[in-house]
Amino acid sequence: MNKLVITSDGSHTIYVPELDEHYHSIHGAVQESEHIFIRSGFDFCQANPLHIFEVGFGTGLNALLTAIKAEQGTREVIYTSIEKYPLEEYISGQLNHYNFAGERGRAISSLISSAPWGTMNSICRNFRLMKIAGDITKEEVKGKFDLVYFDAFGPEKQPDMWTLWIFEKISMITEKNGILVTYSSKGDVKRNLRSAGFRVTRLPGPPGKREITRAIKI
Ligand SMILES: C[S@@+](CC[C@H](N)C(=O)[O-])C[C@H]1O[C@@H](n2cnc3c(N)ncnc32)[C@H](O)[C@@H]1O
C-alpha cells in the first residue's frame, strides 16, 4: 500500500512499495518540482498561450505549482495531464503541498484535486486543467503542446515509459521548438529523445541530483 513520506524540504511525497520508488525526490519534493518543471520548463518556455502536457499527474504537485505561477502571471495556461493510477482520496487528501504554494495554495490545490477527470476545468485565473485517467502507452493523446513535463517513474523501475516509441509519440504532439523537461539524464533517455527529434541539453539538477534534461523539439 502506498505510504506518505516527508522529504527533506518538509513537503510530502508518496512511496510505492511494489516498485520501491518515490513519486518525487526524497531530498525535497517541492524543491525538485520547482527546479525541474517550473524554473527549467515553465519559466524558460515563452509560448503564450501555453499548452502543457504532463506524463504522470500523480499528486498534482506540478499542476499546483504551475497554476500558482499562471495565476500570478499574464499567460493563459492550458494544462493536460495523463495518469494511469489516480490516487485514492484517503492519500491525496493528506498531502501538505499547498503549504508550499502561498496563500492561494490551499484553495487551488482543492480545486485541482476535486476537478472531474476527462473534461476541461477552469481552476483559477489563467489556468485550465484536463486530467486524463489513462495509460500513455495505450492512449491516443490529441493536441499540440508547447511544454511537456515528463514525470514518469524512473527508467530503472518503468523502462517501458522511456522508450524511443514513447518519445516519438510525445514528439508527435510537441510543437516545433516546444520544450520537454524531465528529471532523468540517463544516457539511453537522452539518446531516445534525440532519435525522436529533440535537441537535448543537460542542466544542473536540484539537491541530490547532478543533472536533469531539457530537450527542444527540432
Ligand atoms: C514520478 S510520479 C509523478 C509525480 C507527479 N507529476 C506529481 O507531481 O506528483 C509518476 C506517475 O506516473 C504515473 N504512471 C505510471 N505509469 C503510467 C502510464 N503508463 N501512463 C500514465 N501515467 C503513468 C504513476 O501512477 C505516477 O503517478
Q: Which residues contact 203 (CB under 8 A, 6 or more apart)?
A: 40, 211, 212, 213, 214
Q: How confident is the model at residue 110 (pLDDT cuts 50, 70, 90)?
A: very high
C-alpha–C-alpha distance, residues 128 and 177, integer Å: 23
Residue 98: per-residue pLDDT: 98
Atom number of ligand 1 nearest to Cα 21 = 1
User: What separation in Å is there between the alpha carbon of 148 and the centre of ligand 1?
Assistant: 14
pLDDT tens digit sequence for 199-214: 999 999 999 999 999 9
The β-bridge partners of 179 are 147, 216
Atom number of ligand 1 nearest to Cα 87 = 27
pLDDT at 184 over 90: yes
Q: How confident is the model at residue 1 (pLDDT cuts 50, 70, 90)?
A: confident
Atom number of ligand 1 nearest to Cα 139 = 20
